[in-house]
A and B are shown apart, each in its own frame.
Chain A
Amino acid sequence: MSAESDAAFMARKAAKREARRKRPEEKALLGMTSLMDAITIIVTYLLKSYSSDPVVIQPTQGQKVPMSLADTPIQDGIPVYVSQKSITFAEKRIVQMDETGAIDPSALQGHLIGPLYDLLAEEADKAKQMAEGKGEEWEGRIILIGDQNLKFSVLVDVMYTAGRAEFKEYAFCVVNRNG
């Protein structure tokens, strides 16, 4: 390559560099469309899942909710979590179970679970007052979120206690097998 062509090449390059330097800076535009699409999907999904479930069921640690073919949706009610380790109500562990999965005998008076009864009766009073304020009839529904291995005797005790606290309707929460 001759010195002349080399100089011409360098001159062209310098001219290009100069032109680039003089070019006004372009403002970067962020493409928001895709982001908005993603956010729309997430928001729609979350709104759908919250609006379709009147009660949010969050099983306690280690609790295995029974499986069923039932397809009836959960209706509004007061949830009580009964696992093999404890009975939980309003995010509080009320009663501990022994190692065999039976209710601690000190909490039992016949079939009545004392600490659970106190809280359920209080909750029933509140719910009745609220329903009265709205001019509606109190449905008195309790949702029992049990465990696959929960003993029938414990289930009966919880149902009996809820009945004593004036709850009239019972629903067993299950995981839909077809879901």
Chain B
Amino acid sequence: MSRKFEEEEIEANLLPVMNIMLLLIPALLLAMEVARMAAIAVSPPKFAATADQKQEEKKDKPLNLKVFIMEDGYRVSASGQQAGADAGKAADSASPTIALAKPGTGLEDFDRYDYALLGAEARKYKDLFPHETVVTISAENSIPMQVLIQTMDNLRGLDCRLIGAVNAGEEVPPECMFWQAIVEAGAG
């Protein structure tokens, strides 16, 4: 004897699915935010100092720190004197102050520069001139932008956080060295 059973309607329990969805949505949204954008403020070179600035300069001799990025290293100079130049010379363009960390590598290798040594050099200047915050950076035409940015990072200080100073008007932390960068062409 055959028995006919009626199909019973089964109500799907969607609660566990919705729970998983509820966890997945914030997780995916958080994963989406992979790139947080930031900005580095730079200034163009100033050609004429104001009257106030001229008076200030007379009182306190400026450091006038300049970093020139070359294909074979950094040339660092302060107060018109290149660090590591031959005796009696203000500048010695033949050799860089800080040589490459990875000589023989191409320009596409952004880590070929000795950023650690540049940071240490900047720290020395900062200790001598604690109130100085300005650095003038220039580079040879072929230098990639990533190298310029990493150079700025190391001159500013790797532990420097400026968000509090910018957003809340707090004082610039002491870890920040030369955080005001002037970018100019052909500064040797």
Contacts and interface: CB of A to CB of B under 8 A. Distances in A.
A151 B142 contact: yes
Contact of A34 (B19, B36, B148): B19
Given A17-B6, A41-B29, A72-B166, A146 B145 contact: yes
Nearest to A6: B1
B30 to A, nearest CB: 9
A23 to B, nearest CB: 13
A155 to B, nearest CB: 6
Interface stretch (A63-71, A85-93, A130-138): A63-71
B163 to A, nearest CB: 5
A38 B26 CA distance: 8
B35 A175 contact: yes
Contacts of A71: 38, 161-163
A98 to B, nearest CB: 14
A62 interface: no
Given A34-B18, A37-B22, A69-B158, A149 B145 contact: yes
Majority secondary structure, B binding face? mixed
B145 A57 contact: no
Contacts of A42: 25, 29
B44 interface: yes
Contacts of A69: 153, 156, 158, 160
Q: Which of A70, A175, A179 neighbours the largest number of chain B CB atoms within 10 Å of its CB?
A: A70
Interface residues of B, number: 48
B144 A72 contact: no
Interface in A105-139: 111
Contact of A173 (B37, B142, B146): B37
Contact of A151 (B15, B42, B141, B167): B141
A60 B35 CA distance: 15
B36 A68 contact: no
A44 B119 CA distance: 41
A74 B38 contact: yes
Interface in A43-66: 45, 49, 53, 57, 65-66
Q: How large is the interface on A (under 10, 10 to 19, 20 to 34, 35 or more residues)?
A: 35 or more
A174 B149 contact: yes
Contacts of A31: 14-15, 18
Nearest to A175: B35
A55 B110 CA distance: 28
A67 B146 contact: yes
Interface in B22-77: 22, 25-26, 29, 33, 35-44, 69
Contact of B29 (A45, A146, A156, A159): A45
A57 to B, nearest CB: 5
Given A41-B29, A74-B39, A159-B183, A150 B166 contact: no
11 contacts: A34-B21, A41-B25, A49-B33, A66-B146, A66-B149, A68-B152, A70-B38, A71-B38, A71-B163, A72-B38, A152-B148
Interface of B: 6, 14-15, 18-19, 21-22, 25-26, 29, 33, 35-44, 69, 108, 110, 139-146, 148-150, 152-153, 156, 158, 160-163, 166-167, 183-185
Report the 10 A-B pairs with minimum CB-CB distance, sorted nearest first.
A179-B36, A34-B18, A153-B141, A148-B146, A171-B39, A150-B145, A152-B139, A156-B185, A74-B39, A176-B38
